[in-house]
Structure 1
Amino acid sequence: MAYILAVNASILSDSGGPCECHDGGDACSKDPAYLACQNDLRRAYVVATAAAACIASGLMGLSANLPLGLAPGLGANAYFAYTVVGTAGSGTVSYAQALAVVWLEGWIFVILSILGVRQWLARVLPKSLKLSTGAGIGVYLALIGLGPGGLNVVGLDFDNLLGFAGCLPQYRDSEHSNACLSHVLQDPRMWVGIFLGGVLITLLLMYRVRGAMILGILLVSISSWPRGSAVTQFTDDAQGNDNWDFFKQVATWRSIDPIGPHNIDWQGYNTGHAWLALITFLYIDLLDTTGTLYAMATHAGLVDVRTGDFEGSSMAYISDAVSICTGSLLGCSPCTAFVESAAGIAEGGRTGITALTISLFFFLSLFFAPIFASLPAWATGSVLVIVGSMMMSSVAEINWDYMGDAVPAFLTIIGIPFFYSIAYGLIAGILSYVVLNIIPWAIAKVTRGRLVPDGWHDRREPWGIVPPNTFLDTTTKKLSPWQRAVVNHSLLPPWVKKLCIGQWRFWNMTEAEMEDMLEGRRLSQIYREQLAQRRAAEREQQRRGFAPPGDEETADAKSISPAPTP
């Protein structure tokens, strides 16, 4: 996640923040005073990003006990900088109003999380869509890792939608698109990132070397720091010299000035553009964070196969919402759970200790901003590709046997990278799922079940997941009809259900809840082990050649008990 320090600072500083440019437009790029303020703003954003990530990740680890890192999210920061505020303040609302919008969004999310709306949304999403979200995020990460913000293997192309990149600066169309005009795949920095980073990291992972990813990042970064080499990131120009002078400080402390809470316009909700930005932030972050949290929990094996929920989900959503408010006070765009958390999960992280470790290193980066801001993009690009490959494993569990489940899942997988947005990809999947399932359902109702699609009864995934209410001890407490109605309502969060039956200390888990949670963990573990056994049996059959029915290998494969039905 360390790359976000430099990337977020670069994106948000393009908005100009509190820097003033009286001429506006392209003239700002030629205003020395504005450019000096913008450069100072970029370094302030390195510190602010580190502080926001430190607070948000620590809150997630302490309150939700999940191995997730949080920081100002990609996508939301681009929308904040280039659409809402606009380059050099040319957008629809001012910088001060935009911060107020983000602050209000965070508190709205806190309320939605307390009321259980976000948890309910995660539960009612069809299983194939939830699994495809993780796979789509994996492809999205790989695209980022291969693109200009990573290894720079692919980029804009004049003839195709996407083409090879990796050319030297003199062969780029620097005046317009920055696309390669010729000499593609000849940038030595790209090959250093591929071999010293990607290939080496993969080999270390194959030999189960702990810390393989950070070792690869450090090796590529160290090789890019000496000046004068073909792979240096400190080029011989004004910007390169300025970055080199900042890097040489190694350890330093600076405040987040000129950004901070004093820039927020607390009464900046008096325009329609501000409310439009608020609504857009809400639905993007709602779907983005919900999809990311569920995908990471699935990747970590923390999702209960019976309920479709994961332990600590309520506090996870509340922590995420509070982090958005905190980020706005530091002058940042909305904070969110990072898909790069999959790298820590792949190394074995399963608890909040992982999040606290992330928080600790972001805290250290407050003092070592010159070092952490100097990790080159080609050092982290290969890691994103490798993590993306790990997240594709969920594709095997998608229901490809029924088109009403398969097509929405596929649209989600390709939509997330093609739309360059987790939220928009998930919207494509949800809308297609509704169309492809509601229309056949309506036709079946009209024809009284005589006209249904092939596989409607036996291959389609069942709709809806209602978590079992096993924490209610109905043998000792007789529930009234209204209490039972509240308890069986799937939209309401558990704390509301507890209060309705008189459990006033709703934050404490009862013995029945603990037993149910452990049972969910046990069944989920059995489910994952049986899936792994089935895949291992298939690979073994491929190695030995498929034996005819009745052979020992086939009998062994058939002896594997089926996975429990969620």
Structure 2
Amino acid sequence: MKNQNAIARYFQFDELGTTFGREVIGGVTTFLAMAYILFVNPVVLGAANMDTHAVFTATALSAAIGTLIMGILAKYPVAIAPGMGLNAFFTYTVCIGMKIPWETAIAGVFIAGVIFVIITIFKIREMIINAIPEDLKRATAAGIGLFIAFIGLQDSKIVVKNPDTLVQIGSFHNPGVLLTLFGVIVTVLFMVRGIQGGVFYGMVLTAILGVILALLGINDKVNPVSIPSNVVSSIPSLKPIFGVAITHLGDINSFNLIVVVLTFLFVGFFDTAGTLMAIANQAGILKDNKLPRAGRALFSDSISIVIGSILGTSPTTAYVESSSGVASGGRSGFSAVITAILFLLAMFFSPLLGVVTSDVTAPALIIVGVLMASSLKDIAWSRLEIAIPAFLTIAMMPFTYSITTGIAFGFVVYPITMIVRGRIKELNPIMYILFIIFIIFLPVLAK
């Protein structure tokens, strides 16, 4: 009991209106919603000729360490892991497109991480985040909500590709689609009834049904459930990739590589900033349009990139899937601590993760998208100078499959509409700097 009381005091359970049980459920839910990265990241980085088994371990370790730092130091219910967009940029743009060896690219990640730490220590990142107008922060939260809902719809095959219209509705003959729809309906029922942890319980029931379908041989073609014969597995060695970032620092010696480092820096900065603002808004943490303990949160993110690069993985970032944990009741950093512990355990029990397929996690992402979109109601839609950049921020995230691109469009248009409207005095000088930066980097994001 004393230990629980000490945890409650440190993580401010009473102030945040949460409990030990809710935080545990929130941490577990966040882990389940983002556990896919343990298997996806090795595949993506494997295309850059990295050892996939070693990347699996690096992914789990970097997620555990980064999330633990975020939870204990910043006390945020936010998980950190190698970012999906960033790992794709690392592999397909840098290593394959630019023909840069992965050893050199990982050194670039290390340098970007060190720069992150420096500008965080001098509070440059915190200053920029606090300068962003409240309406754009709300638009960012709503845009991320639509984005992760779109991811959930894609993962479950409810939305699929179409060569003529880009997307279309999937087949209802697909058992995975029906499993996801079951998960959405069950989760909605829990939440409408006001049951705390409804998202988590919905995932549990969906996973159980998924296992039953797999045993019956119904859902084993499109998104197979892996029912493990062995519960415990050995941890793959980090040796092929550990420390390579340090030994190849001398490779960063050309203009192209400097651009790569700056792009890692740029994309990571606004991915994390957008995610932190969105989740803080959802969790009710924002105070006077500012992130409390922002310096600690941003330092946690920055140091995680450095640690991740040394371990041997692409840049880490704050995960939007953390919002599913917040939706399940998580409000404090203890939720992140639970997520971190589960990432460590995942290295030993990785076969069990085969039960939690994308059909199981998709309902959580879809429902969380609904919750995050609630910030739309607080945007000043009657004022076009705000409505237009806010809409572009929201729309461009799912349409371009990039949080950063959505932010870029909104931040470029916002100063223009405010100046034309005659509200130039309301613009923070930092917004002019961001305007110029985004104008320069939009062509880079478009590649």
The alignment partner of 1:93 has SS state of coil
Q: Summarize the Cα distance change of 1:323–1:465 in structure 2 as closer, same or farther, 3 Å threshold.
A: same
Aligned position for 1:199: 185
Q: Tell me how far 1:202 sits from its aligned partner.
A: 1.4
Extract unaligned runs of 5+ from structure 2: 1-33, 431-447
Aligned position for 2:156: 151
Extract unaligned runs of 5+ from structure 1: 18-40, 166-183, 442-455, 467-566
Structure 1 position 292 matched with structure 2 position 275: yes
Q: Summarize the Cα distance change of 1:465–1:299 in structure 2 as closer, same or farther, 3 Å threshold.
A: farther
Structure 1 position 132 matched with structure 2 position 165: no
Within 2, Cα distance between the matches of 1:244 and 1:417? 30
Q: Summarize the Cα distance change of 1:378–1:91 in structure 2 as closer, same or farther, 3 Å threshold.
A: farther
Q: Tell me how far 1:374 sits from its aligned partner.
A: 4.5
Aligned position for 1:73: 83
The alignment partner of 1:71 has SS state of strand
1:103 is matched by which residue type in structure 2?
Answer: F
Aligned position for 1:450: none
Q: Summarize the Cα distance change of 1:248–1:12 in structure 2 as closer, same or farther, 3 Å threshold.
A: farther
Q: Is the contact between residue 62 and residue 308 of structure 2 (CA under 8 Å) also seen in structure 1?
A: yes
1:273 is matched by which residue type in structure 2?
Answer: N
Q: Summarize the Cα distance change of 1:256–1:190 in structure 2 as closer, same or farther, 3 Å threshold.
A: farther
Q: Is the contact between residue 155 and residue 164 of structure 1 (CA under 8 Å) also seen in structure 2?
A: yes
Q: Tell me how far 1:227 sits from its aligned partner.
A: 5.2
Within 2, Cα distance between the matches of 1:388 and 1:403? 25
Structure 1 position 430 matched with structure 2 position 392: no
- Superposed CA offset, 1:306-346 (max 9, x none): xx212110010011000001111222111111111111212
- Correspondences of 1:2-401 after superposition (within 5 Å): 2-17=35-50, 41-86=51-96, 91-147=98-154, 150-165=155-170, 184-195=171-182, 197-225=183-211, 226=214, 229-232=217-220, 247-257=228-238, 259-264=240-245, 265-305=248-288, 308-401=289-382
Within 2, Cα distance between the matches of 1:48 and 1:210? 34
Q: Is the contact between residue 399 and residue 461 of structure 1 (CA under 8 Å) also seen in structure 2?
A: no
**Structure label with greater radius of gyration:** 1
1:201 is matched by which residue type in structure 2?
Answer: T
Q: Tell me how far 1:263 sits from its aligned partner.
A: 3.1
- Superposed CA offset, 1:27-78 (max 9, x none): xxxxxxxxxxxxxx43433332111111001001111111111111121111
Q: Summarize the Cα distance change of 1:185–1:259 in structure 2 as closer, same or farther, 3 Å threshold.
A: farther
Q: Tell me how far 1:244 sits from its aligned partner.
A: 5.3
- Superposed CA offset, 1:230-256 (max 9, x none): 212698xxxx8xx959x3222112233
1:154 is matched by which residue type in structure 2?
Answer: V
The alignment partner of 1:261 has SS state of coil
Q: Tell me how far 1:11 sits from its aligned partner.
A: 2.1
Within 1, Cα distance between the matches of 2:48 and 2:107? 16
Identity level (%): 33
Q: Summarize the Cα distance change of 1:234–1:407 in structure 2 as closer, same or farther, 3 Å threshold.
A: closer
Q: Tell me how far 1:394 sits from its aligned partner.
A: 0.7
Within 2, Cα distance between the matches of 1:207 and 1:320? 36
Structure 1 position 406 matched with structure 2 position 387: yes
The alignment partner of 1:336 has SS state of strand
The alignment partner of 1:256 has SS state of coil
Q: Tell me how far 1:160 sits from its aligned partner.
A: 0.7
Q: RMSD over aligned Cα, in angstroms?
A: 2.3
Q: Tell me how far 1:259 sits from its aligned partner.
A: 3.9
| Greater than 4 Å deviation, 4+ residue runs | none
- Superposed CA offset, 1:74-105 (max 9, x none): 2111111211122xxx6431100111011111
Q: Summarize the Cα distance change of 1:224–1:45 in structure 2 as closer, same or farther, 3 Å threshold.
A: farther
Q: Which has the higher contact order (CA 8 A, sep 6+)?
A: 2
Aligned position for 2:438: none
Q: Summarize the Cα distance change of 1:107–1:320 in structure 2 as closer, same or farther, 3 Å threshold.
A: same
2:407 is matched by which residue type in structure 1?
Answer: L
Within 2, Cα distance between the matches of 1:405 and 1:216? 37
Aligned position for 1:543: none
Q: Summarize the Cα distance change of 1:348–1:217 in structure 2 as closer, same or farther, 3 Å threshold.
A: closer
Query: Scaled by the length of structure 1, what TM-score is found?
Result: 0.66
Q: Is the contact between residue 49 and residue 71 of structure 1 (CA under 8 Å) also seen in structure 2?
A: yes
Q: Is the contact between residue 99 and residue 333 of structure 1 (CA under 8 Å) also seen in structure 2?
A: yes
More helix by share: 2
Q: Is the contact between residue 5 and residue 372 of structure 1 (CA under 8 Å) also seen in structure 2?
A: no
Count of residue pairs brought into register by the alignment? 393
1:164 is matched by which residue type in structure 2?
Answer: I
Q: Summarize the Cα distance change of 1:162–1:142 in structure 2 as closer, same or farther, 3 Å threshold.
A: same
Q: Summarize the Cα distance change of 1:341–1:193 in structure 2 as closer, same or farther, 3 Å threshold.
A: same
The alignment partner of 1:59 has SS state of helix
- Superposed CA offset, 1:328-384 (max 9, x none): 122211111111111121222222111111111111111111112542111111110
Report the more deviating stretch, 412-421 or 367-376.
Answer: 367-376
Q: Is the contact between residue 60 and residue 319 of structure 1 (CA under 8 Å) also seen in structure 2?
A: yes
- Superposed CA offset, 1:497-546 (max 9, x none): xxxxxxxxxxxxxxxxxxxxxxxxxxxxxxxxxxxxxxxxxxxxxxxxxx
Within 1, Cα distance between the matches of 2:45 and 2:383? 44
Q: Tell me how far 1:124 sits from its aligned partner.
A: 1.2
The alignment partner of 2:166 has SS state of coil
- Superposed CA offset, 1:200-231 (max 9, x none): 11111222333332333333334444456121
Query: Scaled by the length of structure 2, what TM-score is found?
Result: 0.83
Q: Is the contact between residue 123 and residue 465 of structure 1 (CA under 8 Å) also seen in structure 2?
A: no
Q: Summarize the Cα distance change of 1:231–1:110 in structure 2 as closer, same or farther, 3 Å threshold.
A: same
